[in-house]
Amino acid sequence: VKATINMLNKALADEYLAANQYLAPIGLAVGKLRPEVEAEFQKHYEEELKHAEMLKTRIIQLGGIPLMSPEEWYTHTNCGYTKPTDYNTKVLVSQNLESERKAEDVYDAICKACKEAGDLITFHIARKIWEDEQEHEQDLEDFLNDMEII
Ligand code: FE
Ligand code: FE
Ligand code: MG
């Protein structure tokens, strides 16, 4: 259970940072499909927060304490944080795409570990989030494809 709590807390750090990586550049973006990209970033921001909420709830159910401070998010994250410095939509979308792919690997690993440990409740939570991350990845790939064409 301790190992599961630890894994979930690392994923929680990822979700808080991912949420901010989507939120931070909204209002600053420039370039192709700007309104569409910003609207999707807003949606993904809210979805990453929902993931954080799901993880936080499960950590508490397992008797753990969710990470509470940005300092801890930085020391525990798997996926890291890419500070947006170039506000071109192509760059912003690419950076978030990179983070989504890392997140998918994280949830893949969590699902495998939970299955082995026989923790089916956490397994289902991680699989649901994993599915969402795959959708996020697809949305961002679609943007990059559309940008090449337009
Ligand atoms: Fe997420
Ligand atoms: Fe995501
Ligand atoms: Mg989406």
Digit-coded pLDDT (tens) for 20-30? 999 999 999 99
> 149 pLDDT band (50/70/90 cuts)?
confident
Q: Nearest to residue 19, comparing CAs of 100, 130, 124?
A: 100
Q: Please tell me the distance between residue 127's alpha carbon and the centre of ligand 2 in angstroms.
A: 13
Mean pLDDT for the stretch of residues 115-142: 98
Whether the Cβ atoms of residue 9 and residue 76 lie closer than 8 Å to each other = yes
Which residues crowd ion ligand 2, with CB under 5 Å? Answer: 133, 136
Rounded CA-CA distance 126/111 in Å is 6
Identify the residue whose tokens are 């989507």. Answer: 22
Q: Which of 15, 137, 140 is nearest to 70 (CA)?
A: 15
Nearest ligand, CA 99: 2
- Mean of the per-residue pLDDT values of the chain: 97
Distance of CA 134 to the CA centre of its chain: 10
pLDDT for residue 150: 67
How sure is the predictor about 68, in pLDDT bands with cuts at 50, 70 and 90?
very high
